Structure 1
Amino acid sequence: MSSNQDIAMDMIKNRLEKNFKKLKSWSERNHIEAFRLYDRDIPEYPFIVDIYKDHFVVYDKSDFIKDKDKNHLPHVTEALKALFKTNDDNIVIKKRERQEGLKQYEKLDSKEQTFLVRETQAHLKVNLYDYLDTGLFLDHRPMRQKVFKTAQDKKFLNLFCYTGSVSVFAALGGATTTSVDMSQTYLRWAQDNFQVNNIDLGSHSFINADVLDWLRSQKAQPTYDIIFLDPPTFSNSKKMEDTFEVERDQEFLVDSCMRMLRPDGVLYFSNNKRKFKISENVLSKYKVKDISEESIPQDFHDKKIHCCFEIKNK
């Protein structure tokens, strides 16, 4: 290795070490086993590194044209091996391009290797190999806590529920939950997450449906106290009749949810479209508070990872 490479290697290793020192006591104190260690902090290292217990997921965000002459990925993996005394088997590399809609959930592999990570009050099942995402959106950690702390004796609805982690926290907080998703795979995963936390499935509903169709089919009855709505940015899934775009279709989503919300209830509307603008109609009809800043965890440098709104009846 040349002296330039040695310097570069030391640079990334030092940054990973510094970040870990900063996060270690926080993660241990809060019983958080899955968190973001590194997020493109150094321009020459366009990678994201997430820790899942003793495993590491490295998302390669390098630009094919701009970064074609640099191969800095081995520096990152070697630094992780040196710092954490780990090996290649525990480091998972993913090439993360901008994924639209449901592409982020497509299958990449069939290893079916899963394990549990602890997050504060819950244990959650992750799969680091088979999909681009792992089954756990780390950026929603503060929202899971917010739901947990306010869920006692409430009726909770989770739309586009994915693997149900927010529903798990609602149930652990004392809510009766309903989780809706188009994917049977993710709904089964959600039920697994309930079972590993010893939550009786009997008082919780898991509905396999296209959320847009399901919303159209619901009577406008104020049933729920808390609704968590986290749609994809865009979708043209084969299972859907029409395309979906979150900014374009937000009024239908929000109006449908608000019709099902009790008068003093709250809708949390989150999405990860960059530069998303909440509609003027939504702002005029409801009491809307942008809670994006407080909903992004401290281990995330990217403060635009998602936007989140708290919506209530006026």
Structure 2
Amino acid sequence: MRQVIDLQAEKKATARFVKGYPLIEKDTVRNESKLKEEGSIIQLIDSEGKFLGKGYYGIQNKGIGWILTQNQNEQIDEPFFNRKISEAVAKRSSFFKDEETTAFRLFNGEGDGVGGLIIDYYEGFCVIQWYSEGIYSFRKEILSALESVVHPSGVYEKKRFEHGGKYVEDRDHVRGEEAPSPLLVKENGRTYAVHLDDGAMVGIFLDQRDVRQAIYMHYAQPDSKVLNTFSYTGAFSVPAALAGAHTTSVDLAKRSRPKTIEQFEVNGIDSETQDIVVMDVFDYFKYARRKELSFDMVILDPPSFARSKKRTFSTSKDYPALLKDAALITNGDGYIIASTNNASFGMDKFKKFIAEGMKSANFNYKICETFSLPDDFTVNRNFREGNYLKVVVLQKLS
């Protein structure tokens, strides 16, 4: 039996909870010390004892728990998760029918009513990401609900939380069939190789689907030169190459080379006709300027925070300098696709970073279009931080 704990909300946070804000942060409640075991049920009340919401205690980088319902009588049990997953599936009915796209987000945390829980769908297989021990304590109920509603061929899980100061790593496959490795999935008719048992990242970031389609449809031109930085498995390089561009994929990780070759090969692209460079992106910018290399499009999708032997990079501090480096090797009238998944600032501030970077490079530009999360990444309108993705396509003006 789960412990049920009443927590009193701070007066300054009460109005926000009434409006439906789902995240419980440490400084928004008064008696947080009462919480002992993750997975305990939290009943949030105001200073007069009035019920505000019910959720669970689970520590992750965002806070200490999530409100799941504003109905005091609703139980957090298997039927509850069954309803939530059923509602999420209904929202994505068009994706289940789309033979050209067979990988998508099935359940997007607080956007679908359960913060800390992510479920992705890959060609019949499901991958669950647990973001705290608290949500993981509901594992049995959630797995049963998922199998009842979706009937996946197999289920994998990724634990994204610490236990005793270390990430807990179990074998990723937990139910049903094991997926082939690689598992080939479709995205707007293009093929991507994913490895469901390969750590936290399986090979493609599903939230960039619309951006990859725009690269293919509008921005990569036959015989143009495209630089894909922080390229990971080369997912952005694939639509550019299929559009007829020559791509250069740059990433510091040694495994980026075989991963990118694999993505090219499953799409019938001769990897020998494309450049794959294992190098620190900032060193590559210096190399490109020294060799007088230039590109018709530069793609920037850095991690929010990264540390190498030479430097530490943070998007909140270093994006303007990164953009300047990109602009200096972008041809006149060329494009820069600037992207960040840093949830600590919004689109307006990101555009200020872009303006600062282009001004320091002494170039004029225009914004062609912007992107945020695609439709399957449902966002809670009361939790703006959940809409983390910001992508700006800008054109350098000669």
TM-score after normalising by structure 2: 0.67
Identity %: 28
Distance 1:13 1:228, change over 3 A: same
Q: Distance in 1 between matches of 2:171 and 2:364?
A: 44
- Per-residue CA deviations over 1:274-297 (Å, capped at 9, x if unaligned) read 2343335236454354955x3421
Does residue 84 (structure 1) correspond to residue 177 (structure 2)? The answer is no
Amino acid aligned to 1:71: S
Following superposition, the deviation at residue 184 of structure 1 comes to 2.0
The DSSP-based 3-state class of the residue aligned with 2:378 is coil
User: Higher mean Cα deviation, 294-303 or 119-128?
Assistant: 294-303
Asked if 2 retains the 8 angstrom alpha-carbon contact of 1:222 and 1:259, the reply is no
- Per-residue CA deviations over 1:131-180 (Å, capped at 9, x if unaligned) read 21111100000010000112231211100000011101111112111111
Amino acid aligned to 1:119: E
Does residue 287 (structure 1) correspond to residue 365 (structure 2)? The answer is yes
Indicate the residue corresponding to 2:283 in structure 1. Answer: 213
Following superposition, the deviation at residue 30 of structure 1 comes to 5.9
Distance 1:244 1:142, change over 3 A: same
The DSSP-based 3-state class of the residue aligned with 2:158 is strand
Asked if 1 retains the 8 angstrom alpha-carbon contact of 2:369 and 2:394, the reply is no
Distance 1:273 1:170, change over 3 A: same
User: Higher mean Cα deviation, 170-179 or 39-48?
Assistant: 39-48
Indicate the residue corresponding to 1:17 in structure 2. Answer: 86
Where does the alignment leave 5 or more consecutive residues of structure 1 unmatched?
A: 99-103
- Per-residue CA deviations over 1:72-98 (Å, capped at 9, x if unaligned) read 2222111111223347xx211212249
The DSSP-based 3-state class of the residue aligned with 1:219 is helix
Asked if 2 retains the 8 angstrom alpha-carbon contact of 1:145 and 1:169, the reply is yes
Does residue 148 (structure 1) correspond to residue 148 (structure 2)? The answer is no
Does residue 94 (structure 1) correspond to residue 158 (structure 2)? The answer is yes
Indicate the residue corresponding to 1:180 in structure 2. Answer: 250
Q: Distance in 1 between matches of 2:99 and 2:293?
A: 35
Indicate the residue corresponding to 2:8 in structure 1. Answer: none
Does residue 75 (structure 1) correspond to residue 141 (structure 2)? The answer is yes
- Per-residue CA deviations over 1:10-66 (Å, capped at 9, x if unaligned) read 22212222322332324533611111111124655631111111211111123x5xx
Q: Distance in 2 between matches of 1:44 and 1:17?
A: 13
Distance 1:28 1:156, change over 3 A: farther
Amino acid aligned to 1:92: Y
Amino acid aligned to 1:149: M
Amino acid aligned to 1:224: F
Does residue 298 (structure 1) correspond to residue 375 (structure 2)? The answer is yes
User: Higher mean Cα deviation, 244-253 or 109-118?
Assistant: 109-118
Q: Per chain length, whose mean CA-contact separation is higher, i.e. which structure has more relative contact order (CA < 8 Å, sep 6+)?
A: 1
Q: Give the number of the structure whose residues are more often strand, by fraction.
A: 2
Distance 1:5 1:250, change over 3 A: closer
Indicate the residue corresponding to 2:185 in structure 1. Answer: 117
Two-structure CA RMSD over aligned residues (Å):
3.0
Indicate the residue corresponding to 2:319 in structure 1. Answer: 250
Following superposition, the deviation at residue 212 of structure 1 comes to 1.1
Q: Distance in 2 between matches of 1:7 and 1:212?
A: 48
Following superposition, the deviation at residue 117 of structure 1 comes to 0.8
Asked if 2 retains the 8 angstrom alpha-carbon contact of 1:46 and 1:60, the reply is yes
Does residue 231 (structure 1) correspond to residue 296 (structure 2)? The answer is no
Amino acid aligned to 2:365: K
Indicate the residue corresponding to 1:101 in structure 2. Answer: none
Asked if 2 retains the 8 angstrom alpha-carbon contact of 1:113 and 1:127, the reply is yes
- Per-residue CA deviations over 1:193-220 (Å, capped at 9, x if unaligned) read 1011111223211011111111122227
Q: Distance in 1 between matches of 2:123 and 2:113?
A: 27
Does residue 263 (structure 1) correspond to residue 332 (structure 2)? The answer is yes
Where does the alignment leave 5 or more consecutive residues of structure 2 unmatched?
A: 3-72, 174-179, 380-385
Does residue 275 (structure 1) correspond to residue 353 (structure 2)? The answer is no
Q: Distance in 2 between matches of 1:175 and 1:202?
A: 14
Q: Distance in 2 between matches of 1:109 and 1:241?
A: 34
Amino acid aligned to 1:164: G
Following superposition, the deviation at residue 222 of structure 1 comes to 6.6
Following superposition, the deviation at residue 110 of structure 1 comes to 9.9
Amino acid aligned to 2:156: V
Amino acid aligned to 2:213: Q
Following superposition, the deviation at residue 304 of structure 1 comes to 2.4
